[in-house]
Structure 1
Amino acid sequence: MELFGRRAETAALDGLLDRAAGGAGSALVLWGEPGIGKTALLEYAVAAASDAIVLRCRGTRMESGLAFAALHELLWPVVDRVETLAAPQAAALRGALGMSRDATNRFLIGAAVLSLVSGLARERPVLVVVDDAQWVDEATAHCLGFLARRVATDPVVVLLTGHEDPASGPWEGLPAREIVGLADVDARRLVDAVVPDAGEALVDHTVRAAGGNPLALHELPTLDRETEGDAPLLPSGGPVPVGPRLRRAFCVRVEALKPSTRALLLLAAAEDRGDRHVVHRAGSGWGVDTSSWDEALRSGLIRASGARLEFRHPLIRAAVYDGAPFLERQAAHRALAAALPTDATAERAWHLAAAADGVDEDVAALLERAAEQCLRRSAGPMAARTLRRAAELSPTPAAAARRLAAAARAAWAAGDAEAARQLLEDAERLCGEPAVARMSGGLRGILEFAYGMPERAHRYLVCDMAVVPETRRAVELGTVAVRAAWSAGRPDLQQEALQQVRAVDTDGDPTLSELMPVLRNWWSCYDETGEVTPTPLDMASDTVGRLGTAAWELLPPVPLVQAWGIEGGLLDVLRVQAAQLRRRHELAALAVVLSQTAVLDLAAGRWDAAEAAAAEGLLLAEEVGADHVATQCHSSLGSLVAARGDGRAVAEHTTHVLQISVPRGVRALSASAYWHRGRAALFDGRPQDALIDLLCLAEPGHECAHPTFALFAAVDTAEAAVQVGNADVAEAQVVLVEDWAQRTGATWARTACHRLRALVHSGSAAEASFRAALDVAGAGGQPFEFARTRLLYGEWLRRARRRADARLQLAAAAEIFERLGAEPLRVRALREQALTERPTAPRVPDAATAAGLTAQELRVARLAADGLTNRAIAAQLLISPRTVGHHLANVYPKLGITSRAELARIDFAGGLRLSAAGD
């Protein structure tokens, strides 16, 4: 296995081996906590010293009391070399190794080992490797210390590993290097290598829990938590389960302490918060005295700072807790619960829950009260964990299901949809879907709407309206059901849910009774008689502002709010919400708010703010796994790059949107992707391509068919249709927008209505419509669309040969496009502006110049010479096909030709273009 994050350590070992190859010996003690990677570094050194003689041994606790046991293991491979030593040394070493009954003299034995190793080093470099040196028997330790201090002039490297800093003891004075934990980036690489298919959540949990310990990073991802220890969840999530090797390594050190000290360590491990006073009070009944505290602190396993108590490494705490028998852990938790102050409800509940070995309604109820406190502090994840434990202790399935449903609500509020879904499924297995729907307030439909398929969400929500007991909740679910149908592009389901909402009796709730007329009208374009029923914009906008601070479920989606022209109140609400959510670090909800804010900022011309909001919302949504929110952010970014003319980015964002939205049937998002693609093509001067995408928005049964987005795209669709000469399509867009403008009176709709009339009309009627579009109160609140109107008006004026008036409109449009960064339309405006300048002598040489073609006639002639049809030329130059024919009728006599075939022979850059036949 590759050594991750150990470049400095391996470089140091390579240096020792290189110096030994040059004849200079040295020693090094590698020390650090169990599992930190010391043995792996020894193995690296052994592999790197391929040409050396390797002598190695390992200290063991079982043999730590046997004199020279480790030395026997170390020298046994070369025991035949003993006879090459001087007689006194050989005799002493044979006695130490149990090969004779000769008396042992520690100095002679040390000298014998040094002589033996030096003799071997005359043949090849020698590497002496001693692992777990803290367990090497004392006699061998002194002998190895003697050797390590005297190899400087021989090609010998002595490497030892231990748990403690060798500042004192047999290794005193030897060079030492502490081995510390891996950095997070290297820890993640190690986990990926150990478990290549590990999910992001598992990797994150492992890296946090292991604290950089490589052995823990190996063991934790593959640990079966159901069988590897019985540690119950504590308030912070509980001790991390520890694998067998780490547990043995740490527990060996704990077992060497006296019983009262071990009891102290167990209490500290179970206490979880590091409160020294609570541990002290709990330990008073366990015989924990001053000497116990002194021994615990001297051991280095635990540290104290004022009232705080902490283990040197979280894995030590885990090993102490996990290695204790269950009965002892139970007793520790009961003692801690008794030692807590009276106001520590949550902590006492958790300790009693950890001590429980079966169902216990009293403890479950106490946990439930603790969860309520968590929810009041906006600690959703902690509340969900607490309620789940309460469910485990509940004596009846109904009580367990109720608490699991409450835990799901808490998890959902905290932004953990996957946990909420799993908790709901657990509850449903206990008492069925209808009961859980009632207990959770219809959460399954809300989850499906936020993360799954809108049609399925609609089905859940409509069903659950009938089972939730609260009227307000029924209205909220019904409104989300309407919204889900809208997302799916299903007007039939939308009306079905709307009828359910209308049937709810709200007389008992004055607030709902006041809001219901507006709520109903938002979702219904017509009343039962088929007559248009306008809603006062002030009333609707005020309602949005009030609801935005109370219940998101009652609000229509942002595009529909925009369609009604009442987004001003919503934007204020979203800004306040974003600030509050940032302070509370509620990432999932913040991602939703940012995605909505980006849509509103885009329309208002705050493109930099929109880009920042969408980018941040995208990162947060991806972090919490909110696919629909992430897709909405991609959609906003796609709209932005379409206007800026970045075709590649448009393709990337819209492809991502469609990959998520099409399989799940979220037609609202699919429609947005097609709309942005169509706009990008239109702005790029490809009206036919634009029309192909835009017409899909109103095509029944299409994956992106959606009435709201077809309405928004009407202006783009009409412009593309006019450019390709499709008057019927353009006229249909006028009717569509006129109906909506009459229905709502929205500023954008009235502006769009006038613009569309200008596109399809001619003469003074067209100019009057352009002027009316620019004069609509508030039209400048959407600067991009306002500039597009000025651009179209300027082009119309230029074609009407009113050059001065055209320059004013085109210059104003170009200035707005430049400020926004809408490059394609800025270039178009400047190109049109250039055409308004006084005509000068054509710069085309030879035939064209002599013929006196105007600038526009020259453009038409060049495109016709390239083989473009009149319709294609008209689309590219934004004029009508009839005008193209008019220009060509002037070009032919000026050039002295009669057909396109002759026109194709003219080289507009230098005279006549000869045909292949040599004409």
Structure 2
Amino acid sequence: MELFGRRAETAALDGLLDRAAHGAGAALVLWGEPGIGKTALVEHAVAAASDATVLRCRGTRMESGLAFAALHELLWPVVDRLETLAAPQAAALRGALGISRDTTNRFLIGAAVLSLVSGLARERPVLVVVDDAQWVDEATAHCLGFVARRVATEPVVVLLTGHEDPTSGPWEGLPAMEVVGLADDDARRLVDAVVPDADGALVDHAVRAAGGNPLALHELPTLDRETEGDAPLLPSGGPVPVGPRLQRAFCARVEALKPSARALLLLAAAEDRGDRHVLHRAGSGWGVDTSAWEEAARSGLVRASGARLEFRHPLVRAAVYDGAPFLERQAAHRALAAALPADATAERAWHLAAAADGPDEGVAALLEQAAEQCLQRSAGPMAARTLRRAAELSPAPDAAGRRLAAAARAAWDAGQAEVARHLLDDAERLCGELPAARMSGGLRGILEFAHGVPERAHRYLVCDMTVVPETWRAVELGTVAVRAAWSAGRSDLQQEALQQVRAVDTDGDPALSELAPVLRNWWSCYDETGEVTPAPLDLDSGTVARLGAAAWGLLPPVPLVQAWGVEGGLLDVLRVQAVQLRRRHELTALAVVLAQEAILDTTAGRWDAAVAAAAEGLRLAEEIGADHVATQSRGSLGLLAAARGEHRSVDEHTTRILQVSAPRGVRALSASTYWIRGRAALFDGRPQEALSDLLSLTQPGHEAAHPTIALLAAVDTAEAAVQVGSIDVVEAQVVLVEEWAQRTGATWARTAGHRLRALVQDGAAAETSFRAALDVAGAGANPLEYARTRLLYGEWLRRARRRADARIQLAGAAEVFERLGAEPLRVRALREQALTERPAAPRVSDAATAAGLTAQELRVARLAADRLTNREIAAQLLISPRTVGHHLASVYPKLGITSRAELARIDFAGDLRLGAAGD
């Protein structure tokens, strides 16, 4: 097995072996807690010392009282070399090893072992390894300490491993290296190597619980029970499970203590917080006196810190707790419950729960109270565990189901989606679906909306909003139901849910009464046929901000907010929410808010902030298993990648999104994916491919058909259609955007309407429309789109031969594209800008040069020579097919040819003399 995170330690060992190979010996004590990896490092040294003589022994508790037991194991492979020693040394060593009855002399034995090792070292280097040196018998320990201090001039390395810092005892004065726990990254790599198919939750649990201990990292992921298994949960979640080898290692040290000290350690392990005052009171009936405290401190297993008694490592606590018989653990918890102050309700409930050996409604009720306190402190995971334990102790199935449903909601709010799902399943089996929905606040539909099929989520949510007791919860569920229908592209289901929201009586809640009409208005933008209704809505950015401040679940999706053009102020609200959600550790809501932040930052041109928010949202959503939120974050990253020309990222993100959204019918996400791909193709000069993707957004029955996304993508659809000459498509997009602009007054729609109208106009009318697009108040708030308008305007000015005016627009656009990192658009702007420059003098003279082709004619001629059609040439050069034909009609007579076939014979490698009038 590879050693992870041990580069410094292995380098030190390799250095010792290298110096020994050159005649300089040394000793080193590797020390640290059980399982920390000392033996693995020794094995590395043994493997590296392939040319050395290796002598090994291991200390054991069973033989720690037998003089020279470890020395016997160490030297037995070379016992035939005793005859090479001086007679007195050989006799003393034979006596120590039990080969003869010669009298043993400690000094002679040490000298004999040193002579024996030195003799072996004259043939080749020697590596002496003593593992678990803390259990080596005293006689061997003193002998090996004697040897280790005297090998500096011999090619000998002595390696010893132990649990304690060798500042005293037989190893005193020897160089020592503490072996500490692995860093989290190395710990994760180790778990992945041990259990290659481990899911993220298992890896995270193992890394947190093991505290960097490699043996624990090997054992934890493969244990058959969960953390809550045999050990009842304590307030902080209970001791972590400990594998058999670690438990034996730690428990062996505990068993060496007297009963009162062991009792103190068990109380401390069960108490969890290490409160010395509580331990004193609880231990008074267990014979725990001052001497017990002193012995526990001397053991090195615990340490006192102010009013706390702390275990040196959480695995020690776990081993002490797991190693005690169940009846003793029960007694410890009862003693601690009795010793707690009167106001420690939660702690007392947990200790009584740990001591319970059957259903107990009284204790279950106490735990339920404790869970409410956890929720008030925003401790969702702890609340979920507490309610789960309360359910286990509930005598009645309906009470158990009710508590499991509440536990499911707490787990969901804390970002534990899978835990929430399992708890809700158990709750429904015990008390039925409707009671579980009531207690969980309609969690089934919320789970389905975040992870499953939106149409199914809609059914759950519409049903559950009628059974939840809180009015605001009913409105929230109804709003999410409308949103689920919107995600599915189902306007009929949208209207059904909207009617349910309208039917909720909000008169008893003043704040909700104010917001309810706004919520209804939001979702009234489409009638039953999916067509936009003509009635204007009283919406503004302040209303959006109030919705966001009330609850993130009440907000419509950001694309719809953007379509209405009222996102102003929303980003600030989301940032405040993110801070609050982080503090409350509500991870699911935080992931949603981050995904929305990323969209708004992208639009505002804060692309670095957008990437940061989307990346964090993606990581968080994947950790908690929120599939749809993860795809939203991927959508933001994909949209940015499209603008930056990062084709591989676009393919990766869009493929991953469609793998989730398409099978589940989440058309809003699928539509965003087609939009991203269409944009990437458009910016990359592939308009036909772009148009194919973008037209899918309006194709009935297509997996990506979605009216809101189609509206937002209309500017890209129209531009692609212009480049391929599909004028009917262009006109349809222009009408769509202009009608929306007239209805909503949204800045983006007014700007886009003018810009698209300019694409289908000629002469002064086109310029008027371009200028109108640039002059819309607030248009610059979306820097990418503003720069794209300038780019299109600059291209129009260049074609109108107004070079100076064109350069101004193109340079401004290129500067914005460069700042944002929109590389394909920057290149396009610079290419157009180059066409506005004055022609240079010719450098070569040939038939083509003499013809005096303009720069644009040269480009058209070269592409035609490569056998591209007029339409394909137009797409690449962003001009119309008719203009291509016009250029070719000019090229042929200048070159003295009559057909495309003759173009292939022309040498276009050299520079051509540019016409004085440009193109």
- Scaled by the length of structure 1, the TM-score of the pair is 0.89
AA aligned opposite 2:470: E
Residues 212 and 323 (structure 1 numbering): CA distance in 2 closer, same or farther, change over 3 Å?
same
Shift in Å, 1:291: 1.6
AA aligned opposite 1:415: G
Residues 507 and 132 (structure 1 numbering): CA distance in 2 closer, same or farther, change over 3 Å?
closer
Higher mean alpha-carbon deviation, 425-434 vs 86-95, is at 86-95
**What residue in structure 2 maps to residue 163 of structure 1?**
163
**What residue in structure 2 maps to residue 351 of structure 1?**
351
Is 1:568 matched up with 2:568?
yes
Aligned pairs (5 A) from 1:31-46? 31-46=31-46
Separation of aligned partners in 2, 1:248 and 1:411:
35
Conserved 8 A contact 1:384-1:410: yes
Unpaired segments ≥5 residues, structure 1: 913-919
Unpaired segments ≥5 residues, structure 2: 913-919
**What residue in structure 2 maps to residue 291 of structure 1?**
291
Conserved 8 A contact 1:644-1:823: yes
AA aligned opposite 2:285: G
Shift in Å, 1:862: 4.7
AA aligned opposite 2:618: L
Separation of aligned partners in 1, 2:564 and 2:228:
59
Shift in Å, 1:238: 1.4
Shift in Å, 1:596: 1.0
Higher mean alpha-carbon deviation, 781-790 vs 713-722, is at 781-790
Higher mean alpha-carbon deviation, 31-40 vs 433-442, is at 31-40
How many residue pairs get aligned? The number is: 911
AA aligned opposite 2:243: G
Instruction: Give deviations 1:419-469, integer Å, cap 9, x for gaps.
Output: 222221222232233321222111121122123332332232223233323
**What residue in structure 1 maps to residue 523 of structure 2?**
523
Conserved 8 A contact 2:414-2:585: no
Higher mean alpha-carbon deviation, 688-697 vs 759-768, is at 759-768
Residues 803 and 359 (structure 1 numbering): CA distance in 2 closer, same or farther, change over 3 Å?
same
Instruction: Give deviations 1:302-359, integer Å, cap 9, x for gaps.
Output: 1112222212222222221111122222222222222223332222222222222222
**What residue in structure 2 maps to residue 669 of structure 1?**
669
Separation of aligned partners in 2, 1:850 and 1:17:
79
Separation of aligned partners in 2, 1:338 and 1:420:
33
**What residue in structure 1 maps to residue 718 of structure 2?**
718
Conserved 8 A contact 1:857-1:887: yes
Aligned pairs (5 A) from 1:474-623? 474-525=474-525, 532-537=533-538, 539-584=539-584, 586-623=586-623
AA aligned opposite 2:692: I
Conserved 8 A contact 1:311-1:317: yes
> Residue 479 of structure 1: SS of its match in structure 2?
helix
> Residue 568 of structure 2: SS of its match in structure 1?
helix
**What residue in structure 2 maps to residue 420 of structure 1?**
420
Shift in Å, 1:54: 4.8
Separation of aligned partners in 1, 2:836 and 2:11:
73
Residues 908 and 470 (structure 1 numbering): CA distance in 2 closer, same or farther, change over 3 Å?
same
> Residue 310 of structure 2: SS of its match in structure 1?
strand
Shift in Å, 1:575: 2.7
> Residue 304 of structure 1: SS of its match in structure 2?
strand
Conserved 8 A contact 2:723-2:874: yes
Residues 873 and 202 (structure 1 numbering): CA distance in 2 closer, same or farther, change over 3 Å?
closer
Residues 375 and 139 (structure 1 numbering): CA distance in 2 closer, same or farther, change over 3 Å?
same
Residues 788 and 213 (structure 1 numbering): CA distance in 2 closer, same or farther, change over 3 Å?
closer
**What residue in structure 1 maps to residue 644 of structure 2?**
644
Residues 744 and 136 (structure 1 numbering): CA distance in 2 closer, same or farther, change over 3 Å?
same
> Residue 304 of structure 2: SS of its match in structure 1?
strand
Separation of aligned partners in 2, 1:66 and 1:834:
92
Shift in Å, 1:293: 1.5
Residues 47 and 826 (structure 1 numbering): CA distance in 2 closer, same or farther, change over 3 Å?
closer
Conserved 8 A contact 1:527-1:533: no
Residues 392 and 826 (structure 1 numbering): CA distance in 2 closer, same or farther, change over 3 Å?
same
**What residue in structure 2 maps to residue 916 of structure 1?**
none
Shift in Å, 1:720: 1.9
Shift in Å, 1:748: 2.1
Residues 215 and 608 (structure 1 numbering): CA distance in 2 closer, same or farther, change over 3 Å?
closer
AA aligned opposite 1:366: L
Higher mean alpha-carbon deviation, 368-377 vs 116-125, is at 116-125
Higher mean alpha-carbon deviation, 440-449 vs 4-13, is at 4-13
Higher mean alpha-carbon deviation, 102-111 vs 442-451, is at 102-111
Shift in Å, 1:695: 0.9
Is 1:252 matched up with 2:252?
yes
AA aligned opposite 1:485: A
Separation of aligned partners in 2, 1:96 and 1:795:
98
Conserved 8 A contact 1:518-1:540: no
Residues 814 and 105 (structure 1 numbering): CA distance in 2 closer, same or farther, change over 3 Å?
closer
Residues 257 and 865 (structure 1 numbering): CA distance in 2 closer, same or farther, change over 3 Å?
closer
**What residue in structure 1 maps to residue 917 of structure 2?**
none
Residues 57 and 647 (structure 1 numbering): CA distance in 2 closer, same or farther, change over 3 Å?
closer
Shift in Å, 1:20: 5.7
> Residue 689 of structure 2: SS of its match in structure 1?
helix
Separation of aligned partners in 2, 1:448 and 1:670:
17
**What residue in structure 2 maps to residue 402 of structure 1?**
402
Conserved 8 A contact 1:747-1:777: yes
Conserved 8 A contact 1:532-1:743: no
> Residue 638 of structure 2: SS of its match in structure 1?
helix
Instruction: Give deviations 1:527-575, integer Å, cap 9, x for gaps.
Output: 57989343345x3433322211112232210001111111114223213
Is 1:232 matched up with 2:229?
no
Separation of aligned partners in 2, 1:293 and 1:809:
81
Higher mean alpha-carbon deviation, 805-814 vs 456-465, is at 805-814
Conserved 8 A contact 1:468-1:474: yes
Residues 772 and 107 (structure 1 numbering): CA distance in 2 closer, same or farther, change over 3 Å?
closer
AA aligned opposite 1:292: A
**Identity across the alignment (%):** 87
**What residue in structure 1 maps to residue 916 of structure 2?**
none
Conserved 8 A contact 2:131-2:161: yes
Separation of aligned partners in 1, 2:752 and 2:28:
80
Conserved 8 A contact 2:754-2:773: yes
Is 1:368 matched up with 2:368?
yes
**What residue in structure 2 maps to residue 217 of structure 1?**
217
Separation of aligned partners in 1, 2:879 and 2:22:
86
Higher mean alpha-carbon deviation, 502-511 vs 367-376, is at 502-511
AA aligned opposite 2:462: V
AA aligned opposite 1:397: P
> Residue 550 of structure 2: SS of its match in structure 1?
coil
Instruction: Give deviations 1:131-182, integer Å, cap 9, x for gaps.
Output: 3333333444444445555666666555443333344334444454444333
Residues 910 and 91 (structure 1 numbering): CA distance in 2 closer, same or farther, change over 3 Å?
closer
> Residue 235 of structure 2: SS of its match in structure 1?
coil
Shift in Å, 1:191: 2.8
Shift in Å, 1:828: 3.9
Conserved 8 A contact 1:441-1:468: yes
Higher mean alpha-carbon deviation, 776-785 vs 508-517, is at 508-517
Residues 490 and 96 (structure 1 numbering): CA distance in 2 closer, same or farther, change over 3 Å?
same
AA aligned opposite 1:741: A
Conserved 8 A contact 1:230-1:326: no
Separation of aligned partners in 1, 2:414 and 2:58:
50
> Residue 300 of structure 1: SS of its match in structure 2?
coil
Residues 714 and 28 (structure 1 numbering): CA distance in 2 closer, same or farther, change over 3 Å?
closer
Higher mean alpha-carbon deviation, 814-823 vs 338-347, is at 814-823
Residues 706 and 161 (structure 1 numbering): CA distance in 2 closer, same or farther, change over 3 Å?
same
Aligned pairs (5 A) from 1:707-746? 707-746=707-746
Instruction: Give deviations 1:820-858, integer Å, cap 9, x for gaps.
Output: 444444444455456567889999956566666555555
CA RMSD of aligned residues (A): 3.6
> Residue 567 of structure 1: SS of its match in structure 2?
coil
> Residue 568 of structure 1: SS of its match in structure 2?
coil
AA aligned opposite 1:246: L
Higher mean alpha-carbon deviation, 425-434 vs 110-119, is at 110-119
Separation of aligned partners in 2, 1:154 and 1:900:
88
> Residue 549 of structure 1: SS of its match in structure 2?
helix
AA aligned opposite 2:535: P
Higher mean alpha-carbon deviation, 274-283 vs 814-823, is at 814-823
Conserved 8 A contact 1:438-1:467: yes
Conserved 8 A contact 1:404-1:423: yes
Separation of aligned partners in 2, 1:882 and 1:89:
108
Residues 212 and 762 (structure 1 numbering): CA distance in 2 closer, same or farther, change over 3 Å?
closer
Residues 436 and 16 (structure 1 numbering): CA distance in 2 closer, same or farther, change over 3 Å?
same
Separation of aligned partners in 1, 2:154 and 2:836:
93
